[in-house]
Chains A and B, each alone.
Chain A
C-alpha cells in the first residue's frame, strides 16, 4: 500500500495498539543518546518518524512525541539493556528512511532506528518513506489506516480510495 503523506499523520490502528506515522519534511541532524555514547543521525525530508503505542492509549502523546522529533528535534533517549524503566514505556519513537515493527525487542533499548517496538498484532509491518508518500507492507488485514491532523483538535479523515 502506498499512501500520500505530507504534514499530516497517518494512524495505523490495530484492535489494541497503534502506530502513528509522520514525514520528517526537513533535513536535520537528530541526536541519539545512549548510556555511554551520543550519535548524530541525519534525517532526510522523506524519512519517517514513527510512534508506536504497543498497548494503545491516547493519541495526543503520540502526536506530541512525533512533533518533539519533527518540529523541535529533541534527542532520542535509548535506555541501557535491562533497564527497569523499559517495560514502562508506553510510547516508542523511531526516525529513519525505513522502519520495521517488531515485538521481539526490548522497548526503548535499541539505538538503531530501523526498528520500533510494537505490539504483536502490528509486528512485521514495514514503513518506507517515499517522496510525498509512505509505503506500507506487511499490514494485517484487520488494521485501519486513517489520516490524523491536530491543528484544531484531533480530526480524522479517510485515505484516498486509490491508495494501493
Chain B
C-alpha cells in the first residue's frame, strides 16, 4: 500500500486516553527505572576548541569537531 494516506488516523495513541493503571505499570520511563536512573553525567567529556573562522570557543564531544556557530571545520584544540 505505497503512499496510502490515512487521514484522521495519524494518532498512534493519545497521551491522554487510556492512560490507565495498566499502562502506568508497563511504563518505567517516568522518574527512571525501579532501581533509579542510570548516571552518565561523568561520561560526557568534551574537548575545548576555538573556531579559526569566527573565533567562537566551544566544547565538542565529537571526534571531528565543527563550530556550531558557523559550521566551520577549521578549528583548533585549546
Residues of chain A at the chain B interface (Cβ within 8 Å): 13, 16-18, 27-32, 37-42, 53-60, 81, 86-87, 90, 102-107, 109-112, 115, 117-121, 149, 152-158
Contact = CB atoms under 8 A, between A and B. Distances in A.
10 contacts: A29-B68, A37-B59, A53-B12, A56-B11, A57-B15, A90-B15, A104-B35, A105-B33, A119-B27, A157-B3
A39 B60 CA distance: 5
A56 to B, nearest CB: 3
Given A40-B60, A58-B10, A103 B43 contact: no
Interface residues of B, number: 44
A38 B57 CA distance: 11
A27 B27 contact: no
B26 A16 contact: yes
Contacts of B3: 149, 155-157
A29 B1 contact: no
B12 A13 contact: yes
